[in-house]
Structure 1
Amino acid sequence: MKQIFNKVKWTGRRALFWYISRGGAGGEEVGSTDDVVEIGQDGVVINVGGRRRFIPYHRIVEIRLESGEVLLNRRKNN
């Protein structure tokens, strides 16, 4: 998954990603690669409202380019 985030970042494309979150409506939240400040070995760090949040890769369930192309879909109900 690290490779997907790096590819999106270095090609200058924009993607949205959905991740499991206890605080989100329906148990998920959505982030943008525009908000990613660090791509690490185990997850990404995003800036949300001036605060940094670590999102582990195992909680990310979908990554989709703004064009609609799906780069990753790990949802159980595909």
Structure 2
Amino acid sequence: MEQLAGFLALMVLVTAVLNVASPFLKFAVSLNMLQSWMLSFYILIVAINSNILHLYLSFLATLIFKGFIIPVLLFVVLKKNR
């Protein structure tokens, strides 16, 4: 479980570096969505290990808002600006 948490933390950093270097907005939004999913699952791993309720809520909020709603809205904006 600790190896998975370390891997997810490393991948969050890698996607952050790739996002800064990305010249394409659609790719940057996709990377941001992937990063949000990895961050939320990292929070879930910590919540399972510590069994703290508010971390489960943080996992759900991060996954729903930062992982789904915000990227969908950004894709809609990008599509309208085309």
Instruction: Give the TM-score normalised by the residue count of structure 2.
Output: 0.25
Higher helix proportion (structure 1 or 2): 2
Higher relative contact order (CA 8 A, sep 6+): 2
Higher strand proportion (structure 1 or 2): 1
Instruction: Give the TM-score normalised by the residue count of structure 1.
Output: 0.26
